[in-house]
C-alpha cells in the first residue's frame, strides 16, 4: 500500500486501542480473536514488553464500528488484560511508524 | 513437610483440596499419568463416560444441579476435540466447569505428534479462560486459579491443557496453595439502586425479566420477594425457569419465540422492563426494535459486557444479582398495582398458552403432565434439544431453582442423557427425569452404558415422533413444506437398544394403562428408558418466526 492510499484509508474513521496485558504466550490470540470472530479487521498491531517484562502493551489500529464499545468491553473481560485505553486514530504510535511501511 | 510429587499427583491433590469428589472423563495416552494418580485417590471417584462429550455433559449436569464447579477430563487430540462441544455449551449458559486435558510432551508440541492438536488455540473462543501449563511448578498456581475463574463473576468453563512431561515430572512441594473460590463482585452503587427503586415506583406497567443469572446467583427467592412486594408480573427466560414457581400468580412463564401469547403481549405493553441476570438473547427478544417498544429498561448483570449490548439500559447496574436484589428490596415500596395486575390477568384469560389434549397421556402435553403427576418439586428435570424441550418448558410445572437443566444458548442435541446422569451422580437422593427425542437421544446414546454402570436414578422419557421435530416444523411452515432430511427412514428399536445397553425399558405405546406403567417405571429405582410414540404433525406453538416481532406469533 502506498502513502497516498494509506492517507485515503485514514479518511475512514479509525481508533487506536492501548491494551496492557500479561506477557505470556497466547494473550495476543485471546485479544485479536475478539475482533476476528466479528469479521472485524485489525489494521495495525504493535506489541512490546514493558517494565520488567511481566506485562506487555499491545497497540491496535482498528476501524470504527458500532460494535467497538462492545468489543472493548469483551477485551476488558479477558483474564490477561489489565487495562484498555482508547485513543483517536491520529495517535503518534502508528503515524510515526509510517516510515517503516513505505512501499 | 516437604513432599516429592509428580505433576499428576499434584493435580489430583489440588482437586481433592478443592473439595472435588467426582470427576468424569475418558483416559488416553497423554493423560495417563493423571489417571494413574487418580486411581490412587481415595477421596475422588472417577466416573468413566463412553465418549468425551458425554463426560463434558455429565460434569455440566453436576454443575447445573449443584451450582458448584465440576471437573471433566480427556486425553489429547480427539479426546480434547470431543470435549469442545460440551465446553462451548457451558460457555453459552455460564456453567462453571474445569476441563483438564492431556497434551503431548512439551518437546513434541508443534510437530504434529500422534494425537496432537492445538487444544489451547481451539478452546480460546469457547472458554472463559484457558491455560497451557508449561511447568510442573505452575500447576500449583494454575489449578486453584482455574477454579476461582470458573466460579467468579459470570461463571464459565476453564480449560487446563497439561503436557505429559509436566504431569510426569516430580518436584518438591513444601506448601499448598489455598483452594480457588469465587471472588466477590463489586457492590452495586447505591445511587443506581435508589434510581431503580424510584423507576419501579413510578412505573405503571412494569415487568420483571429474570434470566439464568438469577439461578447462578442463588437469588431466585429474592427475586420472588421483590416481585411480590412491588407486584411485578414476572417473565423468565428458558435458563431461568424454576426461579419463580410457574403457578405463582405473578408468573408469566417463559417469554420469547415459544413463550405463551399473554406473556409476549404483556411485554409489548410494559412501560418498564427490569432485566436481571438476563442477556436479551434473540430467542427471547425476537426482533429487537419491537421488543418492549414503550419500556424504559433497568438492567442488572454481573457481566459489564452484557449492559447495552442489545438494548441500551436507562439504568445499567453491574453487580451480583443477589446482592443487588437484596439491597433493592427495602428501597422498593409496596404497591398493589391493581390496574396492571388486572390487565395481566385479562391477557392471561384472553390469550392463554394452547395446551391441547392435556388429559390424554398419549399426547405430547398429556405425557409431560402425566410425568409431572408422578413427581414432586424435588425431582430434577433435564431435557435434550428440540420440540420436546420446548413443550416441556411450556407445560411442566417447574417450581424450584436448579430443578431445570437444559441447553439454552448452544442448543446442543445430546445434552440431556449425560447431563441427567451428572445431576443424579451429584444428587443421588433425587429422581432425575430426562425428556428427550428420537433425534437427540442418538447423539449420546452410548451414555446409557454409563447410566447402567453407575445405576443412577435417571428416567429417560423418549418422545418419539420419528422426525427431527423442529426442523420438520420449520420446513413445514417456512420452506414450502419441502421436508428434506428431517424424516428418519430407519428407526431403531429403542426398547431393544436400551436393554442391550443395560438399562430397563418400558414402551408406553404397548401399555394398556400408560399412566400406571409410567408411575411404575418412575418409582422403580435405577435407570430406565420410557418410550412413547407421539404425533409427528404436532408443532411447537405459539411460534414467533425467526426475525419477527414477538407480538406476531403463529398458532397463538
CB proximity B305 to A under 8 Å? yes
3-class SS of residue B8: helix
Mean pLDDT throughout B156-182? 98
Sheet of B272-276, strands arranged across: B251-254, B234-236, B206-210, B272-276, B296-301, B315-318
Question: Mind listing the pLDDT tens digit for each residue in A45-60?
Answer: 999 999 999 999 999 9
State whether residue B183 sits within 8 Å of chain A by CB.
no
Find the residue in A nearest to B154 (Cα).
A77
User: pLDDT class for A4, splitting at 50, 70, 90?
Assistant: very low
Alpha carbons B323 and B482: distance in angstroms, whole number: 51
Which residues of chain B lie closer than 8 angstroms to A37, CB-CB? 125
As a whole-number percent, the residues of chain B with pLDDT over 70 amount to 100
Q: Which residue has the cell 449436569?
A: B61
Contact (CB, 8 A) for B344 and B235: no
Contact A73 B305 (CB under 8 A): yes
pLDDT of A7 > 50? The answer is no
Q: Is the pLDDT of residue A11 over 90?
A: no
The pTM assigned to this predicted structure is 0.96
Q: Quick check: B129 and A79 CB within 8 A?
A: yes
* pLDDT digits 0-9 by tens, B19-30: 999 999 999 999
What pLDDT is recorded for position A12?
67
Each residue's pLDDT tens digit, B544-554: 999 999 999 99
User: Which of B118, B124, B180, B311 to probe by mutation at the A interface, max A CB count within 10 Å?
Assistant: B124
| Beta pairing class for A55-63 and A42-50 | antiparallel
Mean pLDDT for chain B? Answer: 97
Helix axes A27-36, A68-77, angle to 10 degrees: 150
Cell (9 digits) for B450: 454409563
pLDDT, tens digit, 9 for 90 and up, residues B392-415: 999 999 999 999 999 999 999 999
Contact B129 A77 (CB under 8 A): no
Closest to A29 (Cβ–Cβ): which among B124, B149, B308?
B124
Residue A5: the pLDDT is 52
pLDDT of residue A98: 87
What's the pLDDT tens digit per position in B454-506?
999 999 999 999 999 999 999 999 999 999 999 999 999 999 999 999 999 99
Residues of B in contact with A25 (CB under 8 A): 132
**Quick one: which of B310, B238, B94 has its CA closest to B540?**
B238
- Say whether residue B280 is in contact with chain A using an 8 A CB cutoff: no
Tens-place pLDDT, residues A31-49: 999 999 999 999 999 999 9
Q: Which of A33, A69, A76 sits opposite B124 (nearest CB)?
A: A33
Percent of chain B with pLDDT over 90: 100
Q: Determine contact, residues B235/B254, Cβ cutoff 8 Å.
A: yes
Section B254-275 average pLDDT? 98
Grid coordinates standing for B445? 446414546
Instruction: Supply the pLDDT for residue A55.
Output: 97
- pLDDT 10s digits, B51-61: 999 999 999 99
Give the whole-angstrom CA distance, residue A44 versus residue B213: 37
Q: Which long-range contacts (CB under 8 A, 24 or more apart) does B286-291 make?
A: B286/B256, B286/B257, B286/B544, B286/B547, B286/B548, B286/B549, B286/B550, B287/B547, B287/B548, B287/B549, B287/B550, B290/B549, B290/B550, B290/B551, B291/B267, B291/B549, B291/B550
Angstrom distance (rounded) from CA B64 to CA B215: 9
Write the pLDDT tens digit of every residue in B201-226. Answer: 999 999 999 999 999 999 999 999 99
Contacts of B168 (CB under 8 A, 6+ apart): B6, B7, B8, B33
Render pLDDT for A62-102 as a digit per residue (tens, 0 to 9): 998 888 999 999 999 999 999 999 999 889 999 999 889 98
Reported as a pLDDT band with limits 50, 70 and 90, residue A9 is low
Q: Is the ipTM of this complex over 0.85?
A: yes
Amino acid at each position: 500500500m502506498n502513502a497516498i492510499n494509506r492517507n485515503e484509508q485514514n479518511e475512514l474513521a479509525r481508533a487506536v486501542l492501548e491494551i496492557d496485558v500479561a506477557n505470556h504466550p497466547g494473550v495476543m490470540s485471546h485479544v485479536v480473536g475478539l475482533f476476528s470472530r466479528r469479521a472485524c479487521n485489525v489494521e495495525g498491531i504493535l506489541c512490546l514488553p514493558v517494565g520488567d517484562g511481566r506485562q506487555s502493551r499491545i497497540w491496535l489500529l482498528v476501524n470504527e464500528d458500532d460494535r467497538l464499545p462492545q468489543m472493548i468491553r469483551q477485551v476488558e473481560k479477558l483474564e490477561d488484560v489489565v487495562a484498555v485505553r482508547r485513543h483517536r486514530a491520529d495517535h503518534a504510535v502508528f503515524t510515526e511508524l509510517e516510515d517503516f511501511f513505505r512501499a | 513437610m516437604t513432599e516429592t510429587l509428580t505433576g499428576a499427583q499434584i493435580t489430583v491433590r489440588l482437586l481433592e483440596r478443592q473439595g472435588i469428589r467426582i470427576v468424569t472423563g475418558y483416559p488416553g495416552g497423554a493423560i495417563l499419568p493423571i489417571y494413574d494418580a487418580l486411581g490412587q485417590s481415595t477421596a475422588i471417584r472417577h466416573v468413566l463416560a463412553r465418549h468425551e462429550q458425554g463426560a463434558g455433559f455429565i460434569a455440566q449436569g453436576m454443575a447445573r444441579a449443584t451450582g458448584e464447579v465440576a471437573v471433566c477430563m480427556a486425553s489429547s487430540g480427539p479426546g480434547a476435540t470431543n470435549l469442545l462441544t460440551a465446553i462451548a455449551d457451558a460457555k453459552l449458559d455460564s456453567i462453571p466447569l474445569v476441563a483438564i486435558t492431556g497434551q503431548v510432551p512439551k518437546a513434541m508440541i508443534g510437530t504434529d505428534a500422534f494425537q496432537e492438536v492445538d487444544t489451547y488455540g481451539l478452546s480460546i473462543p469457547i472458554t472463559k479462560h484457558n491455560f497451557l501449563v508449561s511447568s510442573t511448578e505452575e500447576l500449583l498456581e494454575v489449578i486453584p486459579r482455574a477454579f476461582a475463574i470458573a466460579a467468579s463473576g459470570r461463571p464459565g468453563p476453564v480449560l487446563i491443557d497439561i503436557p505429559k512431561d509436566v504431569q510426569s515430572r516430580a518436584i518438591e512441594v513444601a506448601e499448598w496453595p489455598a483452594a480457588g473460590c469465587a471472588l466477590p463482585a463489586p457492590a452495586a452503587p447505591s445511587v443506581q439502586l435508589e434510581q431503580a427503586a424510584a423507576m419501579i415506583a413510578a412505573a405503571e406497567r412494569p415487568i420483571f425479566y429474570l434470566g439464568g443469572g438469577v439461578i447462578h446467583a442463588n437469588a431466585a427467592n429474592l427475586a420472588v420477594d421483590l416481585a411480590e412486594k412491588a407486584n411485578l408480573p414476572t417473565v423468565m427466560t428458558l435458563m431461568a425457569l424454576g426461579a419463580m414457581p410457574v403457578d405463582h400468580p405473578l408468573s408469566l412463564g417463559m417469554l420469547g419465540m415459544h413463550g405463551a401469547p399473554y406473556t409476549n403481549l404483556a411485554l409489548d405493553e410494559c412501560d418498564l422492563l427490569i432485566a436481571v441476570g438476563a442477556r436479551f438473547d434473540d430467542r427471547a427478544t425476537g426482533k429487537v426494535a419491537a421488543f418492549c417498544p414503550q419500556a424504559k429498561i433497568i438492567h442488572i448483570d454481573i457481566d459489564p459486557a452484557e449492559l447495552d449490548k442489545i438494548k441500551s439500559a436507562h439504568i445499567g447496574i453491574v453487580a451480583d444479582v443477589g446482592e443487588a436484589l437484596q439491597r433493592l428490596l427495602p428501597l422498593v415500596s409496596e404497591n398493589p398495582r391493581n390496574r396492571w395486575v388486572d390487565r395481566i390477568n385479562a391477557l392471561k384469560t384472553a390469550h392463554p398458552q394452547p395446551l391441547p389434549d392435556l388429559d390424554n397421556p398419549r399426547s405430547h402435553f398429556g405425557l409431560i403432565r402425566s410425568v409431572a403427576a408422578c413427581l414432586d418439586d424435588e425431582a430434577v428435570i433435564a431435557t435434550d434439544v428440540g420440540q420436546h424441550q420446548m413443550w416441556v418448558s411450556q407445560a411442566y410445572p417447574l417450581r424450584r431453582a436448579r430443578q431445570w437443566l437444559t441447553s439454552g444458548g448452544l442448543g446442543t442435541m445430546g445434552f440431556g442423557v449425560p447431563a441427567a446422569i451428572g445431576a443424579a451422580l451429584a444428587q443421588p437422593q433425587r429422581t432425575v427425569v430426562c425428556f428427550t427425542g428420537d433425534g437427540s437421544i442418538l447423539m449420546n446414546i452410548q451414555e446409557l452404558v454409563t447410566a447402567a454402570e453407575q445405576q443412577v436414578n435417571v428416567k429417560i422419557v423418549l418422545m418419539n415422533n420419528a422426525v427431527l421435530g423442529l426442523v420438520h416444523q420449520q420446513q413445514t411452515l417456512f420452506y414450502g413444506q419441502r421436508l428434506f432430511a428431517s424424516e428418519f427412514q430407519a428407526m431403531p428399536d429403542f426398547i431393544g437398544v436400551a436393554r442391550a445397553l443395560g438399562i430397563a425399558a418400558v414402551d408406553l405405546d404397548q401399555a394398556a394403562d400408560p399412566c400406571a406403567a409410567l408411575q411404575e417405571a418412575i418409582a422403580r429405582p435405577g435407570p430406565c428408558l420410557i418410550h412413547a410414540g407421539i404425533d409427528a404433525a404436532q408443532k411447537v406453538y405459539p411460534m414467533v418466526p425467526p426475525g419477527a416481532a414477538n407480538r406476531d406469533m403463529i398458532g397463538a
